[in-house]
Amino acid sequence: MRISKMKTKIWVVALMIVYSVTLEAASESVDIFFKNPATQFANIGIYVKNLTTGEEIDSYRRYNVIPPASTMKLLTTATALEVFGSDYQFTTVLEYSGKIEKGVLYGDLYIRGGGDPMLGCLDDGQAFLETWVNAIKAAGIQQIEGQVKADLSLFDGDALNPGWLWEDAGNYYAPGIFSLAYMDNTMNVQLKSGAIGSVATVIKTIPEIPDLEFESHIRCTEIDYDGAYVHGEPYYNRRYLTGSIPSNLGVFGVRGDIPNPGLLLAQHLTHNLKASGVLVSSPAGYITEKDKVRRTLVYEHKSKPLKDIVIPTNIHSVNLYAEMVFRYLATRISTPCTVHNSEMFMRNFWKNHGVDIHGTCIKDGCGLAPQDAISPDAFVQLLSYMHSSSEHDAFYQSLPVSGESGTLRMMLANTELHGRVHAKSGTISGTRNYVGYIETKKGDTWAFAVMVNSSNARARQIQCVIEQYLLDVYRRNQ
């Protein structure tokens, strides 16, 4: 088949355009990445913009989508703040079915989950259970001829995000996502650390989880860090332990997920009721789909304000909190909440608010899914929007500060950028990202996204290169 000269010229020009975009020139600051063995072969995307003047400070492949790791939490928390407001509170409801006669409830007591990520969190403890017991007694209930049930129906039954790696399931950083969280959905597995080469055995768990079984393949070795992993499915009371821990340390703790936190909460409430003199005839249970039984309200438990949930989500990078907030976004479409509906809502929301994330791949709200991908340009658009938002303060205060707090505590410490960078970090194997704001000596605010993926170096080595870059681009533009 013959091709005309005109078509040939068009084809060649098109190739030249693609080639020129591929070989985008790097600034002298960006060259730092290519001169360092830790990042010279990595996939890099950068965008730095002065939000005060509107000037582009630096960029390199800013439209390329890159796995965000935990910087994905910025998209989730910004969306939630804009949709619900910083003072929004999640509601957990106590209610009962059946009827009360002479102090006896002939029916069941329900704990209906409302998506509160921090219910009974490790920092706050379980003092709220006493309040719940008092409310139940105030409703005239002195005995329950039925059971305490955890109602998990607000979220769909797919507690394990389908985008997460199977090898992560069961670890504390990849817990099941239920509409009832409890104790950060985290247990501490106490292991007996013995001689080198021996298999570590389980002593107990904190909290104690009834009928939980373990199969341990953890070896005690010469390492000096926690190299153990917990594996298992949501709902199921069996966990497999693999990896290694230091030897001859006596008791060594490893964190894993609570298989069914809602059920554990129902069991704890049952225990507290019995301890206070309220008899409960049947063991605690749970439901994943809302039944059609008529219920009567007993008590509404309000969560902390959203602004106080967003802070630990970003500063300490808590996957559970981000993922529950992400899943809860779907309530604006329909219930039960699904990952798909959360994704669709997030896309439509930002499209309607002028932030272009159409090229973004969203599989979760915390950045654990390896399929997640977002561009530096989209991040800077988001940061620019939030900079002028009425929710700016809540969002800004949730960001770690360089040299001072959270995951940036060691970042840029004792440099001219100490305390001037408010940003979220994101780290998975071969990936190190930083997205946030820089406050300059001149009083300007910069938004930046520096994303490095597919490096064969350690996270600390990549971080050092990014620190060099940020200092260089800052010095060149002061």
CB atoms within 10 A of CB 409: 13
| Token duo for residue 430 | 């071969």
Residue 215 has pLDDT above 50, yes or no: yes
Query: Is 285 domain-assigned?
Result: yes
Cis check for the bond before 207: say yes or no (omega within 30 of 0).
yes
E-only strand ranges, 325-444: 421-428, 431-439
Domain count, the chain: 3
Residue 17 lies in a domain: no
- Domain extent for 335: 25-86+308-476
Rounded-to-integer distance, Cα 389 and Cα 412, Å = 28
Note if the bond before 336 is cis, omega within 30 degrees. yes
* Per-residue pLDDT at 208: 96
Cβ atoms within 10 Å, residue 244:
18
Based on the domain organization, do 459 and 423 belong to the same domain?
Answer: yes
**What is the mean predicted confidence (pLDDT) over 318-336?**
97
194 and 68 fall within a common domain: no
Q: Give the lowest-confidence range in 3-12, 76-85, 130-139, 284-293.
A: 3-12
* pLDDT of 25: 74
Domain boundary among 188, 223, 257: 257
In a domain, 12, yes or no: no
Judgement on whether residues 212 and 100 belong to the same structural domain of the protein: no
| pLDDT > 60? residue 13 | no
pLDDT digits (tens, 9 = 90+) for 264-322: 999 999 999 999 999 999 999 999 998 989 999 999 999 999 999 999 999 999 999 99
Does 81 share its domain with 99? no
* Residue 315 and residue 293 share a domain: no
> Which residues sit opposite 361 in a β-bridge?
373
Q: How confident is the model at residue 18, as a pLDDT?
A: 39
Q: Where are the alpha helices (DSSP H) in 210-356?
A: 261-275, 306-315, 319-328, 339-352
Size of the chain in residues: 478
> Last residue of some domain: 257, 273, 288?
257
In a domain, 11, yes or no: no
Q: How far apart are CA 212 and CA 214, in angstroms?
A: 7
Which whole number is the average pLDDT over 456-463? 93
Closest CA to 463 of 417, 437, 429, 425: 425
Q: Is residue 8 in some structural domain? A: no
Tell me, what's the pLDDT at 8?
Answer: 45
The answer to the question of residue 417 being in a domain is yes
Does residue 310 or residue 430 have the better pLDDT? Answer: 310
Q: Whose structure tokens read 């909190």? A: 321
Closest CA to 39 of 60, 19, 63, 56: 60
Residues 329-358, mean pLDDT to the nearest whole number: 97
**Residue that the structure tokens 């989880």 belong to:** 209
Whether residue 363 sits in one domain with residue 285: no
pLDDT in tens, 165-199: 999 999 999 999 999 999 999 999 999 999 999 99
What is the predicted pLDDT for the residue at 395?
A: 98
Q: Which helix (H) or strand (E) holds 144?
A: strand 143-144
One-letter amino acid for residue 153 of the chain: S
178 and 266 share one domain? no
Q: What is the CATH number of the domain that holds 323?
A: 3.40.710.10
- Residue where a domain terminates, one of 303, 336, 364: 303
Q: How confident is the prediction for the chain on average, in pLDDT?
A: 94
Is the separation of the CB atoms in 437 and 52 below 8 Å? no
Query: Do 445 and 348 have their domain in common?
Result: yes
End-to-end CA distance of the chain: 59
Same domain, 380 and 251: no
Q: Which helix (H) or strand (E) is 463 found in, with range? A: helix 459-476
Is 19 a member of any domain?
Answer: no
Say whether both 314 and 386 belong to one domain: yes
Look at residue 446 and give its three-state secondary structure.
Answer: strand
187 with 320, same domain? no
Q: Which residue has the tokens 């994943």?
A: 288
- With respect to residue 458, please indicate whether it lies within any of the assigned structural domains: yes
Regarding whether 103 and 150 lie in a shared domain, the answer is yes
Q: What is the pTM of this model?
A: 0.93
| Backbone dihedral angles phi then psi of residue 312, each to the nearest 5 degrees | -65, -25
